Structure formats: C-alpha cells, structure tokens
Structure 1
Amino acid sequence: MKTRILALASSLAVAAPLAIGTLGEAHAAPTSAIDNPPVTLVGGMTSPRYDYTNAIRETVWVDTPDLDGDGKAERIATDIIRPRELDGTARVPVIMDASPYYLSLGRGNETEYKEYAPDGSPTKFPLYYDNYFVPRGYAFVAVDMAGTARSTGCTDEGGRSDVESAKAVVEWLNGKGSAHDSTGAIVQATWSNGSTGMIGKSYDGTLANGVAATGVDGLKTIVPISAISSWYDYNRWQGAVKSRHYASSLSRTIAQRRTIPTDCSSRLNYMDANDADATGAHTDFWAERDYRAGSLYDASKVKASVFIVHGLQDNNVKTMNASKWWDDLGKQGVARKMWLSRLGHVDPFDHDRQEWVTTLNRWFDHELMGIDNGIDREPAVRVETAPNQWETSKTWPTQSARTMSLSPRADGTLALGTPERGTAGYVNNSRLTEANAVALGANPNRVQLLTGTTTQDVRISGTPTVDLGVTHGAQAGQVSVMLVDYGAMDRVSATGDGALTLGTETCWGAATTADDACYKDVTRRLQSTQLQVLARGWARLDGPGQHDVTVELAANDVVVPAGHQLGLIVSGASNGVIAVDTSPGMYTLDLRSTRLNLPVSGPMSGFAPGHLTAKDTDNLDRGTLPSLDETLWPR
C-alpha cells in the first residue's frame, strides 16, 4: 500500500469575506493560508493525519432573513468541528449534515443526539462523519434546520424555510452572509475554502436535494440517502392521499425539544389549509416543495454533483423520489452516481459498511479535495438485484432494458399479444389487507392476473406502468395496483426494512470520551418467502363512470428467477394506505384497456409467451411489441 503526503491547492481562490451586520469586526482570512489542507494518501484515499481529540469545536448562529413570517430574521444553529492544526494555515473543505432531528428524534440506527458542554460548546456529533473525516483534513458541520433544536423559526415540511435555512449556512461557508457566536460577535468562516458537500439520510438528504436545487455557489456535491425529491411524491400517489394533514403533523414532531419556544400555529394552520387533502391535487403548496421541477427550486439549477443512495424496498420514501431525481439530473447533464440496495429505509453504513465508507471517502476526496482517484471513471451505478448480488452499469435503468407489454386474458392470465375483450369486477373493501390481496386463490375484492412461469431468470429494471380502464359509481374512487413475484426463495425481509442489528460493533474513526466512533454491526434480515410485492401504485379516480388511467408503479431493479410467475393485482381501497372511497361498491376492469408495461432486460422468451396474431407480428417491426427472438435482447 502506497503512502503519499500532498499539499493540495484549489483552483478556485476564495476571497476574504465581508462582514454583514453591526456587531463585532470581521476577521480577514489568513493571507498565508492555502486553499486545501496537506493530506496523507494511503491507497489513493485521504487517511488520518490530524488530531480529533484536540479539534476545534464551536457553535455559530448563521443569520437569515425572516423565514416564518413573523417579521424577525432567523438564527440557524451551526455546530462545527475542524482540525486545530490547520487553523490559520490552511482552509479546509466541509462535509455538512443539515437536519431537523438532532434534538428531536435523533440520528442513525442507534438514535444519537447532539450533546454540549456546560459552556455550550458541542461535545458529541451524531453519526461517524466527524470521527472519520476530521482526522483526514475535513471540517464537519452539523446544522439545526430552522424551527428545530437551537435554531429560530418554524418548520415547513420541505418548503422555503427548511431549504433556505440550510442554504444560508452553505453561503456563509463560502464567504457570504454573516454569523454570530454566543457573545453576539460576528464570525466569519475564514477556515473554510468554500467547498461544501452535503450528506444525510431521509429528511437530512432531502434538505441536501433542496439546497442543490437552489443552485447555491459553494455546494460542490450532495449525497442524499433515502431522500425526498418531491414532497408531493412522498405524501401522495397520483392524487391519492395516504394520510391527512401530514405536513403539519410532521412539522410538530420534528419541533420537539427545541430550545427556543416559538408560536408556530399560523404556519401549521397554513399547512392544513393548503395541503389539498380533500382533492389530492398538485397545488402551489406542493410545487414549492418539488425540487425536480418546482416553482422555487428545480433540477435545472443544480451545479453540485449528486451521489444518490436508495433502498429498492423503501416504503417510507418511495423509490420514485430517487428514480425521477436521477432522470431529471441526467437531462441537465449533472455528474451522477447511484447505489440501489435491496433494503428499505436503511443507511448504507448499516448494510454494506466497509464498501460504503471506502466509497464515500473516495467520493469526497474527489469532489471536495480534487484528488484524481478514478472514481468518476468507474461504473456510475451499483444495484443489488438479489440479496447480496450486485450489478454495476454506466446507466440506469440498465441499458439493455426494453418495455414488454402484457395483456390480460379472460381466463385470468397475462400474456403477450392483442388484448381480449371482456371485463373483470371486484367489490371495493376498505379493510382489504395487502396480504389478502396478493394471496393466490379467489377473492371478490380484487382482480388477480398471472403470467405463466418464467423459463429463465428475468431482470426488471426501471419503472413499470399499468394502463387501466376502470368503471365505478362513487363520487371519488381509487385504484390500487401491485406487481407480485410468486415463487419461493430467500429474500430481504420487509421486517425492520430488511436490517438486523447485531450485538457486535465496529469503530470508524477517532474518538473522545464523549463521542466514540463505534456502532453496532448490521446485517441483512433474510427470510424464505413464497412471494414478494415488487412494486406498488395508486391513483385517485374522481367522478363516477369509466376512467382510463395509467398507474405508475414504484421503480425497481430485481431479478425474477426461473420457475417463478408474475402477478398483477388490481383493487380499490388499500387498508392503512389509501381509502378515498370506503363504500362497498362494484368496480369493473375493462380487459381490453388493461396492459402491464414492464421494463425487462433479457430474452423475452423468459416469459411464457401468448399467441401473436399476424397484426402483432407486423407491429414488431415498428417497435410497439417486443420480439421473442432472444438474440435481440442482450443479457
């Protein structure tokens, strides 16, 4: 293993920032400071060089304009840890995790909270980022989102207040804006070289997405883990509402244990009045909270590189938040990387720890320190298509994926070929559970359509859709759709999002008595099951009569083994998820208008074929139906 000691010089000079405010005096940046710290490379990665125990630990409050409508500017609590040896001699890049959870619900698998000394200085930073990266020459910055912990303001469920509070810290780190310490003195980030990378899971990663979508200068990369890119796609599914007044409920929850009592009732009432629960519509309220193509923020503004991490079995933050973000960023030419695991809402630190930390180390080295370690020339995508079976590719969905359309038959099968005339009916049942809906056999509350068994492994890669013609008599109804893999095998369990915490632990970085770097090991929770739901989707159907609707299911990338069969389940209400119409009315499915569109990689003969007519054969040349010739389908 080769060791190298480098002093890295940034190609971007950071000008001495100007103070904005009336208190104190700005500290000019040390004129002799270099724009990147000396680092030690081992195996091409930065390695420990600086003393974590003696690192500078401090808190500042970054100033922002009024974000909650009370006419007062906000103060965003920002806890910092950075190498003491570099103070005044080198500016350092920043790894930043902005969160609403530092004092409310805690961070990580072991629910860690921030802790402070009697003088108010931070003694414990949740998670391992500080322990691991500060000794390697980085600063770590943990930001309390507006309305949470020690920051002023009110929470906003992904809206302007949330995003702008984190953005202000990125700007301050880049020499813009102002901050104050506990005495009220103005503080400038003269130690920062202006390059920030944001990281975080769930809400934290969502803030990273939102800040990137502002186009703020100084944000060089983000690593959103299990993160939201559109709050509408988190709270809704094609107009179907999964819970009422969720925005205000979540905002109350994350404001727990905040240290600055604030009356946020007007903001909460605004959310309840504008969340459009009654209609499920994508209103201006949701447009503000859409980072892909919203009214305030969108993918076209993103300058930072993006490393997306998501679980393909995440039923909390649904996979469309990753898949659509990935697509939109690609259309804008954003540098991208992505990991997709078979688990649910789980941090990769907790399911592939060694591989993840090594990859993250190399990613930040490349994006924030400019180290040419080749990570940008490696396959951009890593996907777990079966338990512990990973595939890499340059693109996603996999380049070999093509859409195969299957149509229902009157006998309840799904096959290639021209749709048959006919109908299938089911009685809406608001108490229908998913387990009952997917079980094989007769059930009056859903329609079940099955393919033949697969003759060889088939990979589904991308976003399935289902075209439906549904008739009902309610003033407002709904349709629930599931794609199911029927066949016994060991799968990553849905219990605990597929993660099993063990009694052993490993350590990742330096430590103090107040802040260790040791975390319990986690493994995949494997379970032998007879079936698995691969993708779900819902849609609201307003008004009685026939509705022709295309339901977009959750994106996935999974191998269906030979000998299994796929099932399409169509029902009305879904117990505990969607219940627009709770009456026991009849819903009718028009078979001729129904089609399952699957993004498939592999030979089409992997599915039991249906009967192709002469017309269907002609359509093959025009690309409207897939070919059964497996030589046309690269594996």
Structure 2
Amino acid sequence: MRRFLVHPIVLVTVMGAAVAPANAATAVPHIRGTSTVPVYSYADAIRESVWVKTPLDNDHDGVPDKVAVDIVRPRTGNVRVPVIMQASPYYGCCGRGNEKELKEYDAAGTIAKLPLFYDNYFVPRGYAVIAVDIAGTGRSTGCTDTDGREDTLGAKAAIDWLNGRAEATYADGSPAVATRWSNGRVGMVGKSADATVTNGVAATGVDGLKTVVPIAATSSGYDYARRNGVLVAPNMNEYLFNLVTSRPAEACARTLEHIDTGSDDATGNYNAFWAERDLRPHASKVRASVFLVHGLNDGNVMTNHFALWWNALRVPRKLWLSQGGHLDPFDFRRDEWVRTLHRWFDFYLQGLRNGIDREPPVSMETSPGTWTDQPTWPAPGAHQVRVRLGDGERTWVDDPDLWADAAAADPNAQVAGRIAFLSAPLTRDLRISGIPAVTVRVQVDKPTTALTARLVDYGTTPRVNTVWPNEGIRTLDTESCWGESTAADDACYRDTVADVVTSDHAILSRGWQDAAHRVSLRFRVPLQPGRWYSIRVPMQAMDQTVRAGHVLGLTLQQSDFEYTTPTTTGATVRMDLSGSHLTLPVVGSARLSHLAAAAPRVEATATTSGHKAIERQRKSWMY
C-alpha cells in the first residue's frame, strides 16, 4: 500500500487547560495531593444500565440502533466524576482478560459484575466505569460490522451521551441523563478488538475523549486480514461477526452479506470496505492522549499496527513494548501497570499534575524481565542500513508444507522450499529498531506467488516463550487483589509469571508480499514468466538486540500456511542475489555489510497442500 521509512518522532507535550482539575472550585474527597485515593464504597456503588441511541440503523428496522451501557459509579453527592470506558464485542461470548470474565447480571437485570479490575480499583477512587456492548452484541441492537462505522459510532455515541449530546433510556423507557453525575471527561481502555474500537473512536476526534489506552490494537483492518495482498484466512471478518453477534440471523443478514462481499477474499485487494477500517489516514484527527501497549512477539495483531499508528500520532503519547505476545500488561507487569495506569488516568481525567508527562515516554522490555526507558521509538539514532545478499543466483520451488520451525532451524541444511542467508558471528551487539524490509530481484514462472521473509537470531539465550495459547506467561494458583470486592464481583486475579525458555534461535520479524500486488494493494498486476522484477517484502516492526557472538539470519520461502492462507501456485522462483538486499533500521555504529547464502542451490518438487489457516490462529483472533 505504501513504502514506509520509520523515523523517531519527538514527544509532543500539549498540556494546560486540557487537564485542569474537573472540580477545581470545590474540595474533592477522593483527591489528596496529586493522587486519587479510595474513599467511596465499592459495595455501595450505583449500578445501572442504559441504552444509548446511535445515529445508525444497520439492522434496517426503522429504529435507530442502541448500544447497551452498563455503569458502576461511586456515590459522590454533588461531585461529578470522569469515566473510564471499555467498549467490547466480547462481553457475552468470549470473556475478557486471562480468566475470560463475562458480564453478569442480577435477577432484575442490573449489572452485578464487570469484567477486569477497572471498576473494583477505580470506582472507590472517584471514577465511574462503564462497559459498552458493541452494536449487535450483548444487549445492544443493530449489527456489528467488525470494526466498521457501526462499531465505532456506536461507542462514540456513549461518549456523546456522557457529554449531553445523545439520548439514552433506562430499560423502562424513561430518559437517562449522564450529565448529572458525569463531568464529560472520558478515557477509553481495552485490549485487542476492544482496543481497535478505542483507536477508531479516538480517530473521530470526539469531544470529551481525553485519553485512550489501546492494548494490542489494530490500526488497519486490511493489515489484520491480509499480509500485503496475501489472505490471512478465508472469511475472517464473517467468522468474527458470527463469533460475537447476539442478534437473530435475519436481523443482520444484510450486514453479513456486506461484510462477505466487501472483504473480497477472492482478490485480496484494498478497497472501500478496507479503507473504512483503516485508521492511519485519520491519525491527525486524534485529540486524546494515547498510551499504547504492544508485544514485540505478538503473532495475532502484528507489530506494524502499533508502529505505523504511533509514528502518525501528534498528541501526548506513551508506549510500552514487551517481549510477550498478545497480552495485557496486567498479566506481565502487574504492579507497575496498575500504578502507571492510575497515574495516567489521574493526570488526564482528574487533572492532577503528578509528573507522568515529564517521564520518558517509551518503556521497553529488552530481555525477559528487564525494562529500560527511552525518549522515542524507534530508538534514538536508528538509521537505515542496506545489507547485501551476495552474488550469483538461487532457485527454489514453492513448498506449502514448509512451516516456520523447519524453515528457520539449522540454516546450513538444505531445506526444500527455502533459502537462507547468514551473517558472520557478530563482534558486537546489533540493535535493530524500526521496520525492516527485504527487496528481491526475481523471475517467477507463474502469474503470482506469495513471498515470505523472516529475520532470525541464531544464538542460545533465555527468551520469552510466546507460543499460543499462553503468549509468554504461565498462570499460577495464587491470587492477588486489586481494589474492592463484592460477593458478585471480586477484585482478585490469579498471578502470572513470564514463561521463559532457553532456545538456540528466535524469529525476530516476519514479512509477506503477494507478488501480483507489488505495484499496489488496490489491484493485481500478474507477473510475466521470464521477466525480472524487483519486489519489496515489508517486514514487521521490531526492537531487538542480536548479541555479540550470535548470527543474524534471513530466510525466504513462498507459501506460509502458518500465518497466512495463500493461493499456492507451485511457482519456481529464480533470485538474483546481487540485485537483492535487506534493509535494517540499525542503532549505533554496529556494522553489517552483507549476509552470505547459507546453503547451495536447492531444487525441490512442488507439492499440493491441504493446509488451511491453522486452528491456533483462528482461536486467537482478536481476543
């Protein structure tokens, strides 16, 4: 779609009136100094549900769609409070957090349990916490459209209601007015699909949204469902729709048909359907501060989702990068996460000048359990270095049965369907921070083929084990508590520790490109057999250090049925090494001029594979 060079961006500090204390004229019981403190009873909190009218009617019943909003708020008398908001499609089907918590209601239909710790911890400290059922899920009407306008504008309507710009009713039809208790200041938080909605609402620039905390969020629906023209899995958006919908099939048949035709699996093209789900062009509309969290080894929501969004933002922002996979920081850095999130919300929602805006904005896990702070991301001094891949030619045939473990292991062995390139053992540490890419000059004997690239660190060291389903953690039998509890909603969660293993290699970054989409993701241009093409394979953002004594490797293959579902053509690829190169965003003066081909020419026999996108991936989508 675009060619990206990632450059450091200096933190923009825009403060002043935007974070003025919401109740500056009066003494506020829950504020002491520069922090909120737990003074309100969680057990005695007000629990209620309202239905907020949205501007859409995508179930075509002639009535505006309504999103269900469950509220837990403190009894503060005349003190109006800010709101922490979660909007999710998963409250009724799949659960939230490591323990897969669902919403629970009492016999009267009143919310009794909200998932996660936010209400237990923050309500006693003077925050209301609300949980929004995305349209067509839970108790909402309308139809989810998997990160489209309905999902975004439904969640936005809840913020409009909190600021007196939208209507809502209780279950009995009586009007619900939020401005009696809400001061209009809202912070959104969520992981995965919830975080994608959070990004989408922020990109509307809605008034009242002061900060967002997206965890493992997508920033482009196309990049989640496609790898530069290569299909991730068939019918992905339809699968997600059917996973979360709570509406009768006939109510949302037209929406589901639109998702099916709009996503256009047959071509893999970027089109109007995907443009609606592409947030990056709208980053300039974001007015809220942003606290991003992402795993550097997230194999579900790939790292370019955070990197391209982060670099497009022009608001106050903060970033945590872990060595884990698709994880919530509550499960890999719990104490520090709760403390930091508390200070972040206090600053942006309560107006308390606690100094968090003056701290280094980037915190990164450099090795298991070791965190370091830095002023920007990519790392200061990161610059693009071109690495040669040698001379001569290599030829290989597509082998759809070749999976990543076999393709990355033992790079000096002859493996049908892949070629490998290796550096000499490094004489000093090599830090790579940013988005790498490989450009290959190739002839292909078919109209197209998928091209797959991987950067590999060969060297024995302890690493976080991010294999699904644990994603880098082990869940213990012990518990710790974060806030106050009731009989229906306790604040205690099972403890976790990092799952660390010692391994002799690790994949640092992956990249894919459909050769027929080399010119544009909007259309295909078939290859002509016998003609040479230079094709760029963009890889995923990374920040890893290859240690002295280790070897940096690059592997290339065609079909990757572990992370994609390509149309396997059985192509033979002939590669001109002198016309090909790797581009690395390198930090500092460490030098790497070339990689050498690791194995002699390999001729393989094309095979026909029955692989589909593996069940591991289908089970992990967006949770």
Q: If the TM-score is normalised by the length of the shorter chain, which range does it land in?
A: 0.7 to 0.9
Q: Which amino acid aligns with 2:480?
A: T
Instruction: State the shift of 1:74 in Å.
Output: 0.8
CA deviation map 1:554-584 (0-9, x unaligned) = 1111111111011111111012333434243
Question: In the alignment, which residue of structure 1 is the partner of 2:101?
Answer: 112
- 1:338-357 → structure 2 map (5 Å cutoff): 338-357=319-338
Question: C-alpha separation between the residues in 2 aligned to 1:477 and 1:369?
Answer: 54
Moved more, 311-320 or 432-441: 432-441
Supply the distance in 1 between the matched residues of 2:441 and 2:576 (Cα, whole angstroms).
Answer: 5
Q: CA deviation at 1:260?
A: 6.9
| Counterpart selection for 2:477 from 503, 516, 533 | 503
Amino acid at match of 1:268: L
Q: Deviations over 1:585-613 (max 9, x none)?
A: 311112122111111113324x48789xx
Which position in structure 2 is the counterpart of 1:318?
A: 302
Structure 1: gaps (5+ residues): 1-8, 15-31, 410-419, 612-635
Task: Say if 2:286 is the partner of 1:280.
Answer: no
Tell me the equivalent position of 1:594. Answer: 580
C-alpha separation in 2, matches of 1:387 and 1:264: 46
Q: Determine the C-alpha separation between the residues in 2 that align with 1:447 and 1:567.
A: 11
Cα distance in 2 for residues equivalent to 1:67 and 1:319: 34
Q: Which residue in the other structure is 1:305 paired with?
A: 289
How far apart are residue 553 of structure 1 and its match?
A: 0.7
Change (3 A) 1:379 1:319: same
What is the one-letter code of the residue matched to 2:291? F
Matched, 1:482 2:454: yes
**In structure 2, C-alpha distance between the alignment counterparts of 1:463 and 1:499, rounded to whole Å:** 26
| d(CA) in 2 for partners of 1:219, 1:162 | 16
Amino acid aligned to 1:327: N
CA deviation map 1:394-441 (0-9, x unaligned): 1100112122211112xxxxxxxxxx3x21111101111111111221
Match of 2:369 among 363, 388, 398: 388
Distance 2:199 2:264 in 1: 24
Cα deviation, residue 33, structure 1: 11
Q: CA deviation at 1:243?
A: 0.9
Aligned-pair distance for 1:34?
A: 6.7
Cα distance in 2 between the residues matched to 1:609 and 1:180: 66
Whether contact under 8 Å (1:463, 1:598) holds in the other structure is yes
Q: Does 2:46 align with 1:63?
A: no
Letter in 2 for 1:461: S
Match of 1:22 in 2: none
Aligned-partner Cα distance in 1 for 2:368–2:472: 10
Contact between 1:35 and 1:91, CA under 8 Å: does it hold in 2? no
CA RMSD of aligned residues (A): 2.0
Structure 1 contact 313–344 (Cα < 8 Å) conserved: yes
TM-aligned CA deviation for residue 446 of structure 1: 0.8
On the 8 A contact 2:117/2:483 being kept in 1, the answer is: yes
The one-character-per-residue Cα deviations of 1:91-138 (angstroms, maximum 9, x if unpaired) are: 100000000011110111001011111111111010000000000000
Question: Secondary structure of 1:195's match?
Answer: strand
Aligned counterpart for 2:214 among listed residues 214, 224, 227: 224
Residues 503-531 of structure 1: per-residue CA shift (max 9 Å, x gap): 11100000000000000011110011110
2:436 pairs with 1:445: no
Q: CA deviation at 1:227?
A: 0.6
Match of 1:549 in 2: 535
Distance 2:24 2:98 in 1: 39
1:426 — aligned with what?
A: 396
Instruction: Provide the rounded CA distance (Å) in 1 between the counterparts of 2:409 and 2:21.
Output: 63
Cα gap change, 1:10/1:478 in structure 2, threshold over 3 Å: closer, same or farther?
Answer: closer
**Given the superposition, is the C-alpha separation of residues 517 and 389 from structure 1 closer, same or farther in structure 2, using an over 3 Å criterion?**
same
Q: How far did residue 444 of structure 1 move? A: 2.7
Alignment of 1:46 onto 2:43 = no
Q: Is the 8 A contact 1:199 1:205 kept in 2?
A: yes
Q: Secondary structure, in 3 states, of the residue corresponding to 2:266? A: coil
Q: Tell me the equivalent position of 2:564.
A: 578
Kept in 2: contact 1:478–1:579 (CA 8 A): no
The change in CA–CA distance for 1:558 and 1:41 in structure 2 (over 3 A counts) is farther
Aligned-pair CA distance for 1:274: 1.5
> Among 140, 145, 153, which residue is 1:156 paired with?
145
* Alpha-carbon distance, 1:281 to partner: 1.2
Structure number, greater radius of gyration = 1
CA shift at 1:52, angstroms?
0.5
| Aligned equivalent of 2:123, options 126, 130, 134 | 134
How far does the alpha carbon of each residue in 1:463-519 deviate from its partner, in whole angstroms, 9 at most, with x for none? 111111122122231100000000111100122211111111100000000000000
Show CA shifts across 1:181-240 (max 9, x none): 011011110200000000000011111100000010000000000011111111111111
Cα displacement string for residues 64-94 of structure 1 (whole angstroms, at most 9, x for unaligned residues): 123415032111100001111x14x111000
Give the stretch that moved more between structures: 186-195 or 568-577.
568-577
2:490 corresponds in structure 1 to: 516
The answer for the alignment partner of 1:97 in structure 2 is 86
Q: Distance in 2 between matches of 1:299 and 1:174?
A: 23
Pairing 1:266–2:249 present: no
Q: Please tell me the residue identity of whatever aligns with 1:434.
A: A
Cα distance change of structure 1 residues 33 and 570 upon mapping to structure 2, 3 Å threshold: closer
Question: 1:565 is aligned with what amino acid?
Answer: V
The answer for the alignment partner of 1:473 in structure 2 is 445
Q: Contact 2:389–2:595 at 8 Å: present in 1 too?
A: no
Partner SS, residue 251 of structure 2: coil
8 Å Cα contact 2:196-2:218 kept in structure 1: yes
> 1:212 & 1:444 partners in 2: Cα distance?
47
Local SS of the residue matching 2:578 = helix
Give the match for residue 520 of structure 2. none
In the other structure, the counterpart of 1:377 is 358
Segments of structure 2 that go 5 or more residues without pairing to the other structure are 1-16, 517-525, 597-623
CA contact (8 A) 2:219 2:278 kept: yes
Is residue 234 of structure 2 the alignment partner of residue 244 of structure 1? yes
**Larger CA deviation: 170-179 vs 68-77:** 68-77
The CA distance in 2 between the partners of 1:226 and 1:454, in whole Å, is 32
User: How many angstroms apart in 2 are the aligned matches of 1:426 and 1:449?
Assistant: 14
User: What pairs up with 1:594-633 in 2 under 5 angstroms?
Assistant: 594-605=580-591, 607=592
Please state if 1:212 is matched with 2:191.
Answer: no
Q: Which has the higher contact order (CA 8 A, sep 6+)?
A: 2
Contact kept in structure 2, 1:209 and 1:224, CA below 8 Å:
yes
Q: Which whole-Å CA distance do the structure 1 matches of 2:32 and 2:580 have between them?
A: 58
Task: Tell me, yes or no, if the aligned pair for 1:245 and 1:271 is still in contact at 8 Å.
Answer: no
Judge conservation of contact 2:403–2:560 (CA < 8 Å) in 1: yes
Specify the SS of the correspondent of 2:354.
Answer: coil
Conserved in 1, the CA contact under 8 Å of 2:480 and 2:494?
yes
Q: Is the 8 A contact 2:456 2:509 kept in 1?
A: yes
Are the counterparts in 2 of residues 67 and 160 from structure 1 also a CA contact under 8 Å?
no
2:110 to 107, 113, 121: 121
Distance 1:144 1:579 in 2: 31
Q: Which moved more, 1:594-603 or 1:364-373?
A: 594-603
Is 1:469–1:591's contact at 8 Å kept on the other side of the alignment? yes
| Contact in 2 for aligned 1:386/1:559 (Cα 8 Å) | no
Q: What count of residue pairs does the alignment treat as equivalent?
A: 562
Alpha-carbon contact 1:36-1:90 (below 8 Å) kept: no
- TM-score (norm. length: structure 1): 0.86
The one-letter code sitting in structure 2 at the alignment partner of 1:47 is: V
CA distance in 2 between partners of 1:504 and 1:558 (Å):
32
- Tell me the amino acid that sits aligned with residue 303 of structure 1: R
How far did residue 12 of structure 1 move? 7.5
